Structure 1
Amino acid sequence: MPGPVPRLAAQAVLTPPSAASLFLVVVAGESREDALTVRDVVADLESLLKAVGFRELSGSLSCVVGIGSEFWDRVSPATKPALLHRFLPLSGPVHSAPSTPGDVLFHIKAARADLCFELGRLLVAALGPAATVVDEVSGFRYFDARDLLGFVDGTENPTDADAEEAALIGDEDPDFRGGSYVIVQKYLHDMSAWTSLSVTEQERVIGRTKLENVELDEDAQPSNSHVTLNTIVDDDGVEHDILRDNMPFGSLAAGEFGTYFIGYARNPGITELMLRRMFLGEPPGNYDRILDFSTAVTGTLFFVPSREVLESLADQSENAEAPSDVTGETEQPNTYDLSLNIGGLKGVSQ
C-alpha cells in the first residue's frame, strides 16, 4: 500500500478532536447559477476561514469541506474520484440506515463554540439563496471525550502516520491524492432504555468497560458488541481503520440526545463494511446491539478534496460544466472489491 500522504496536500482531516464543532449539510439549488455560487464559496473557503480564525489564533479553528456525488457531477464532470457515490442505505432485520440528501458538508472545529458559529454564519450568508441547510448539528466535548451513553468515544482511532494511512488517498487515485472520503450519520439515543440497563450490560453492548475504557477480554466479548462488529480485518490478518471525529449533541427542550458519527477513510468501503456488519449483522441477523438504543436518522457520503483540488474547482472551464439537471449515477459501484491492495475484507469473529 502507498505510504503516508503529506499533510500539506490535505484539508484539516487529521486535526485532533476539538472542544466544539458545527456540522452543516447543505443542498444546492437546481439552477446552474446556484451550483456555480456554491462551487465558488466552497473553493474560496480559505478566505472565510482566515477571516474568523485570525481574530482568535488560539482557537484552533478549522473546516473540512466534503462534496457529494451528484453535486460533484454538476460542478466537475470531467473527472471524478474513483470511489465517490451516493450513500448506500441499509435495511437490516431490525434496524435501518437511511440515505439522506447532501451536496456539501462543512465540518467546522474549534476550541470554542463561538468560532464555529461565526464561520458557519459567514458560510451560510455567502451561500445565500443558492443553497439550503438541510442539517445543522452543534457538537460539544463531553467530559473526558465520552458520548452521552457514558463511554469514551474514539479510543481506537489511529494516530500520526497510521491516521494518514487510514484517512488520506495515496497513489491508488493519483489525481485525487491527499483527499479522503467521509460518511456522516446522526444517531439519536433512547436514554430511558439505555439507563435501564446495568453497567455490566451496557459494557457488553459496547465491548469496553465504562469507567476504565478497557476492551473486554476475548472470552467475554459478545459477538454482537459494537467493538466486535466494527473491527475489520483482511485475509492477511491486517486490521483496517478509519478516522472518527464523533461528537455528542443534544437539546434538553426537545429531549434529544445523540452522537454525530463522522468517519474519514481513504477507502469508503471500509466504513461501509462496518455499517453493513452493524445493521445487517455478522453473521446475518447478528446486528450491533447498540442499535437497540441508537437510531440513525441521516446518512450521507462525501468526497473531501485536497486543498489544491478544492481551490481549482473555481477555475473549471465554463465549457466543462455539466447541465444543472444532472441527477447522478445510474448504478452504484462495488465498494467492497476495490483492488486497493487491502486484500479481501472480513470481520473478526470473537
Structure 2
Amino acid sequence: MPTQKIVAPPAKAAMFLVLTVNEGAEAQVADVLTGVSDLTKAVSFRVPTSNLLCVVGIGHDAWGRLFDAPLPRDLHPFREFHGEVHSAPATPGDILIHLRAGTQDVCFELAKQLMSRLRPYTRVQDEVHGFKFFEERDLLGFVDGTANPEDEDAQSAAVVGDQDPSYRGGSYVLVQKYLHQMDEWEALSTGEQERVIGRSKLEDIEMSDEQKPANSHVALNDLDDVDGHAREIMRDNMPFGEVGSAEFGTYFIGYAADPAVTETMLENMFIGNPPGTYDRILDFSTAVTGGLFFAPPRSFLDDPTTVPAQDTSSGADAPDDDAVSASPAPAAPADGSLGIGSLKRP
C-alpha cells in the first residue's frame, strides 16, 4: 500500500500549515485533498533534485466531517498537560500540512498552490517556515535529531502496521510550536546549558547516567522499553524565527505508530517523572500551539473509498475520547514547554 512519505532524511527547508475547515465546506476540502499527490508531483517535477515531500494529517474533530470512513484506532483530540509550572496547550486545527524539501522555494510554491484551492474553504490557524541551522542544530545551539531511530526501527516507530490494518502505512503526527526565551538561555554558561539538555553542546555526546540530571531533557524523553520493544518516535523538528520581532523557536513534529509514546514523553516533560521533576528546558521555552493528527496512507488520501464506510448498524462505539482528556482548544497560556521530544532530528 503506498504511503505518505513519513520516514525521510533531514530536510533543509520546511513549512507547516495548520488549518480549520469552514462549516459546510467539508465536501470541497475533501475533494481538494484527493489531488494533493498529483499537485506535489507537478511542483516537484519542476525541480527534480528538490526532494519535495508533502504529508497531510487530519485531526480528530474533522475526520468524520471529511470522510465516510472509520476513525483511525488511536486518533483523539490533542491531550493537554498541565504541570505545577508549565503547560502544553491544545489549539484549533483540523488539517496539518507538512512540507519539506532541499530548498524553501518549492515548499513555498506547493503551499501557494494548495492554499489557492483550500483558501475559500479553510482558515489558516498557524503558518511556520522552518530552516536548517548549522549542523542540524536548533536555535538553542544543540544538535536536534541524533537519537532518532533509523531504517527498520524508524519504520516500526513511526508507521502504523498490523495494529490497524485499514490504515496500515499511516502515522500519528503530534505538533507543537515553541518560542524560546533566548536572552535567558544565552545568559546560562555552556556547562549549565548542557545540564539542561543532558548532552554536550559542541560534541553532541550524551552524558552518562551518573552525570545526567534527572530533570534534563534527554533523561525525561528516553523511555524504557516495554516487553523488549523500544518506545521511540520520529522527529522532524525545524528552527524558525523573525529577527524583527525577536521571535525565535522550534517547531516540534513527531511521527509515531502509537501517539501514546509521544504523549508519555510530554507527560514526563510537563508533569515530571517522578511528578514534580519537570523538564528544565521548559523554563526557557513556551508552548503556544498543540495538535494531534493522523496522516493516512497515500492511497486513502487519493481515494477515501479504499476504506469501507463506517458501519453504524452494528452499534459499534467510537473510541472513548474522555479517556484521553479531550479538552476544547483554549488560548495558549503564558507558560509552556519545549516538547522537542528529544531535541533530535531524523
For normalisation by structure 2, the TM-score amounts to: 0.88
How far apart are the structure 1 equivalents of 2:50 and 2:69? 38
- CA RMSD for the aligned pairs? 2.0
Task: Confirm or deny: 8 A CA contact 1:180 1:265 kept in the other structure.
Answer: yes
Deviation of 1:77 after TM superposition, in Å, equals: 4.3
Q: Does 1:43 align with 2:34?
A: yes
Q: Give the match's secondary structure for 1:170.
A: coil
1:315, distance to aligned residue in structure 2 (A): 7.7
Partner secondary structure for residue 281 of structure 1: coil
Tell whether the 8 Å contact from 1:85 to 1:333 is kept in structure 2 after alignment: no
Residues 1:23 and 2:16 aligned together: yes
Q: Quick one: distance in 1 between partners of 2:272 and 2:138? A: 23
- Name the residue aligned to 1:73: 64
Aligned residue number for residue 169 of structure 1: 160
The alpha carbon displacement at 1:309 in A equals: 1.4
> C-alpha separation between the residues in 1 aligned to 2:88 and 2:281?
13
Cα separation, 1, equivalents of 2:22 and 2:322: 24
Deviation, 1:329, is 7.8
Instruction: Give the drift of 1:308.
Output: 1.1
SS in 2 for 1:158: coil
Give the conservation status (yes or no) of the 8 Å contact 1:76–1:321. Answer: no
SS in structure 2 of the partner of residue 26 of structure 1: strand
Distance in 2 (alpha carbons) for counterparts of 1:22 and 1:195: 27
Q: Which residue among 111, 114, 121 is the counterpart of 2:105?
A: 114
Gaps of 5+ in 1: 1-7, 323-327, 336-350
The one of 2, 6, 27 equivalent to 1:9 is 2
**Relative to structure 2, which stretch is displaced further, 255-264 or 126-135?**
126-135
Residue 311 of structure 1 pairs with residue 293 of structure 2: no
1:331 to 2:321 alignment: yes
Give matches, 1:66-215, under 5 Å.
Answer: 66-215=57-206
Query: How far did 1:334 drift?
Result: 4.9
DSSP 3-state at the match of 2:176: strand
Return the letter of the residue paired with 2:73: A
Q: Distance in 2 between matches of 1:143 and 1:35?
A: 41
**Whole-Å Cα distance in 1 between the matches of residues 319 and 170 of structure 2?**
21
Q: 2-side partners of 1:124 and 1:314: how far apart? A: 24
Corresponding residue SS for 1:163: helix
Amino acid at match of 1:211: L
Q: Percent identity?
A: 52
Q: Distance in 2 between matches of 1:270 and 1:329?
A: 18
Counterpart residue identity of residue 26, structure 1: L
Q: Deviations over 1:244-298 (max 9, x none)?
A: 0000000001110100000000000000000000001111110000000011100
- Alpha-carbon distance between aligned partners in 2 of 1:333 and 1:302, rounded to the nearest angstrom: 17
Match of 1:341 in 2: none
Number of matched pairs: 320
- Mind listing any 5+ residue stretches in structure 2 that lack a counterpart? 313-317, 326-346
Say whether 1:61 aligns with 2:88: no
Q: What residue identity is the alignment partner of 1:100?
A: T
